[in-house]
Structure 1
Amino acid sequence: MRSHQAGALHADIGTKGPAWLREPADPNALVPLLWPVTARKTYEGALVVGGVDLRDLARDHGTPAYVLDEEDFRRRARAFREAFADYDVYYAAKAFICTTVARWVAEEGLNIDVCSGGELTVALRAGIEPARIGFHGNNKSVVELRRALEVGVGRIIVDSFDEIDRLLALTAETGAEAPLMVRVTAGVEAHTHEYIATAHEDQKFGFSITSGDAFEAVRRIEAAPGLRLLGLHSHIGSQIFDTSGFEVAARRVLALHARVSDELGVVMPELDLGGGFGIAYTTQDDPSDPSQLAVELTKIVEHEARALEVDVPRLSIEPGRAIVGPAMCTLYEVGTVKEVRLDAGASRTYVSVDGGMSDNIRTALYDADYSATLASRRSDAAPVLARVVGKHCEAGDIVVRDEFLPGDVRPGDLLAVPGTGAYCRSMASNYNHLLRPPVVAVRDGVATVVVRRETEDDLLGTDVGR
């Protein structure tokens, strides 16, 4: 591919930003939908979450730091439990998990879904009853499956014929019974990013309903000693706002449920609809609340069950992002501010912070949009369209692609980015050998470190060279 001079056409620049982004009347104001329930600004413009002034949190714990609002997390967990009272609600640990959060999940009456041996270890350390744990994953090792059987997890979601064979061997060896759900792909194109749409045929998860693999997996499990068939599991993707995808999936999954009953004489007692419920990262997002979701999903399943003349199985869902995502924000310190002049008289303001793609890879990986606010003071300056970037040696190291910030934003200011509870700390890395930030839980004016900041000793601990 030939190189050529770069220009404004390749920079995707402008003074207005994306169509959905509106210039605020007051760049100091918070958009409540994007922030934890306890978030507010003081008269001085300082951001307070959980009763903690984030200027004090930055002084005591440094930046960057993930700030987790315990009250907000618990409220959202409770809202799902109450709205889906007739369901089993599994918190999806992959969104974010630590021992403290796992305890909160259990205390609020939720089960927990893990997808690795490490996540299982955290759940067990937190004292979660194994019967309340579901174990996911498309390539569980023999070691992981053995441990799941030994501790007695409530269900294992099988994802391949190889995994069924592993479980057959393990149950024969140990004498344990394996309670299984079959992960199926329903052939649904969810309206989300291609990397987080997981119910279409051409991807790594599950058994295809269309090809017949899903029915064959059910048949093998039902016929095998030591394997107990619980039901089917479907997950159409993540950051989903439109329940029409669930409607199509429910129709196809329940049709398979009915076929199993008719042809094998087996009535499976459970059906998992998955999770993926969207949250508001910016003003363009309009998520549903749990009670609305419960009504819509229940109506969908009951309608499809009536049409197929089958009883509605015991239903379960797996919210993760929808609980922890809005409950956390990330606090940064501004290091540099640079106005970059471009062609046609345009320019862009780059605000560099002391974190970046190592603490939030989603903007680079999924082209995700985020918001931001000045967190340490009030400004009377007019808003300017800015791009918040990190300190990594990557042009794609972008935290917030487009946001209006006060025109006098300067080094030493604190910026906060909302909606970072899901898949930010859990996907964090040591790229460029940066240290992963702490998670600081806040409640009633008290800040408590629940995951400490990494140190250089941690970084060198696995480096055995001399």
Structure 2
Amino acid sequence: MHTYATPYNIVRNLQPELPTYCFRPERVTAAARWFVEKFPAQSFYAVKVNPALHVLDALWEAGIRSFDAASEKEVQLIRGRFPDARIAFLHPVKPRHAIERAYFNYGVRIYVTDSVAELNKILEATNFAQDLTILVRIAVSNEGSALPLSGKFGASTAEAAEILRLARRHADEVGVSFHVGSQAMKPSAWAQAMADASRVIIEAGVTVDIVDVGGGFPAIYADKTPPEMDDYVAMVMRSFENMFVLENAELWCEPGRALVAESESLLVRVDLAKGREIYVNDGSYGALYDAVHEGWKFPMRAISGDGRKLGRMVEYTVYGPTCDSADMLPGKVWLPAGLTEGDYVEIGNIGAYGRSMSTQFNGFGESEVAEVQDSPWPSLYVSAVGAEVISIGSMATN
């Protein structure tokens, strides 16, 4: 991977034909070290959020040693890359053969369930192993999250209590888990969820070794600035102290977006300009899935392809590259006037889910990656971030 001072240098030197991820490893380092040093919980990175090897390596280098896998492929990826990693298979529904291979071939001992049927499947696929850790996922409110995740998974209080009692008979360790929803903007969401989890434990009448507070920890976007991360930790720790658990119970979490959203931006090329309409080489079937389908607002800046000074900000309609007329950003996007073929737009803080949601529809989906050293986008972990998010015309190079 080549390193450049800024994305402007990439444009000047390469004029890239493919969408190019601009990787900022120091952002991964800052986020990972924050979780390792300031959050007294075992952090399991959610691999699905960004499985790029350079991102995984940066997390490992910064101290992340545990990983949340949602599929057998993710289990294989992490075990092959980091033989000593701790892996938890945390998809609530897993194929029987995947559980068997995860246990016997890849040494995975941690599994989640939200039903008796799935628990029985885990027990049978592992030949009723004596060294299992079973987490029971309970349903909790997703109020205050940008993307609720409560519709598909999570056991009710009565169901979860029954699963806990059954798991306690067979597993070496048992715990409770939940997910407050993606991009949770209210720390109080964890207080309510942990109170609900405590009631489940009391209802079950069993000892619990682990409380997994899941993911949902937020990132900064153009229209979403969450509270300070310290507020989330304080709320979780206060709530943990009030839970009905063993004094030596472990606290776990599953950060994904919060660890890697700031790690990458995406440099896209303007392939056609028709007045206030521009067509770029990535879109709703690529890394901009969340921007189109979930309406997320990412910070953006424009870079002229020929070094000219760009004009005042105006509203554009932005289309992606496919033949599908729905491949367009919702609403209008503010960018400099006069954009034309060969100019570029950088879309910031797209390190979470951008890469992993990209498809090959219409033969698109290929991309490149380069490391950059600038810090134009807001950060939850780095104070005094440098540049303002504006359009870039002619700039001095370093």
Q: Tell me the equivalent position of 2:143.
A: 190
Q: Quick one: distance in 1 between partners of 2:245 and 2:310?
A: 64
C-alpha deviations, 1:384-440, integer Å up to 9, x for none? 012322111223212474332111111111110012111111011011121432343
Contact 1:370 1:401 in 2 (8 A): no
Q: Tell me the equivalent position of 2:162.
A: 216
Contact 2:18 2:366 in 1 (8 A): no
**Please, which runs of 5 or more residues in structure 1 have no aligned partner?**
1-45, 340-348, 445-466
Compute the RMSD of aligned alpha carbons.
Answer: 2.5
Q: Tell me the equivalent position of 1:43.
A: none
Q: Quick one: distance in 2 between partners of 1:55 and 1:367?
A: 28
Q: Tell me the equivalent position of 1:7.
A: none
The alignment status of 1:330 with 2:266, answered yes or no, reads: yes
Contact 1:233 1:274 in 2 (8 A): yes
Aligned with 2:172: secondary structure?
Answer: strand
Which of 336, 348, 362 matches 2:290?
A: 362
C-alpha deviations, 1:304-328, integer Å up to 9, x for none? 33xx697473211111111111111
Q: Tell me the equivalent position of 1:71.
A: 26
Aligned with 2:29: secondary structure?
Answer: helix
Contact 1:381 1:406 in 2 (8 A): yes
Q: Tell me the equivalent position of 2:257.
A: 321
Displacement, 1:443?
5.7
C-alpha deviations, 1:324-349, integer Å up to 9, x for none? 1111101111112223xxxxxxxxx2
Which of 83, 105, 122 matches 2:59?
A: 105
TM-score by length of structure 1 reads 0.73
C-alpha deviations, 1:206-241, integer Å up to 9, x for none? 2122xx1101111111223xx333210111110111
Aligned with 1:239: secondary structure?
Answer: strand
Aligned with 1:94: secondary structure?
Answer: helix
Aligned with 2:186: secondary structure?
Answer: coil
**Please, which runs of 5 or more residues in structure 2 have no aligned partner?**
375-398
Farther-moved stretch of structure 1 (134-143 vs 292-301): 292-301
Displacement, 1:259?
3.2
The alignment status of 1:271 with 2:222, answered yes or no, reads: no
Q: Tell me the equivalent position of 1:122.
A: 77
Say if 1:108 and 1:406 are closer, same or farther in 2 by CA, change over 3 A. Answer: same
Q: Tell me the equivalent position of 1:418.
A: 348
Say if 1:375 and 1:381 are closer, same or farther in 2 by CA, change over 3 A. Answer: closer
Q: Quick one: distance in 2 between partners of 1:362 and 1:291?
A: 27
Farther-moved stretch of structure 1 (288-297 vs 143-152): 288-297
Displacement, 1:95?
0.6
Q: Quick one: distance in 2 between partners of 1:299 and 1:390?
A: 46
Q: Quick one: distance in 2 between partners of 1:366 and 1:220?
A: 39
Q: Tell me the equivalent position of 2:362.
A: 432
Runs of 4+ that moved beyond 6 A:
none
Displacement, 1:117?
0.8
Say if 1:358 and 1:247 are closer, same or farther in 2 by CA, change over 3 A. Answer: same
Q: Tell me the equivalent position of 2:103.
A: 149
The alignment status of 1:281 with 2:237, answered yes or no, reads: no
Say if 1:192 and 1:327 are closer, same or farther in 2 by CA, change over 3 A. Answer: same
Q: Tell me the equivalent position of 2:386.
A: none
Aligned with 1:384: secondary structure?
Answer: strand
Which of 218, 230, 242 matches 1:291?
A: 230
Say if 1:366 and 1:309 are closer, same or farther in 2 by CA, change over 3 A. Answer: closer
Counterpart amino acid of residue 217 in structure 1:
I
Contact 2:323 2:362 in 1 (8 A): yes
Contact 1:350 1:389 in 2 (8 A): yes
Contact 2:263 2:351 in 1 (8 A): yes
Q: Quick one: distance in 2 between partners of 1:309 and 1:143?
A: 33
Counterpart amino acid of residue 235 in structure 2:
E
Give matches, 1:3-42, under 5 Å. Answer: none
Q: Quick one: distance in 2 between partners of 1:124 and 1:62?
A: 34
Which of 225, 230, 239 matches 1:300?
A: 239
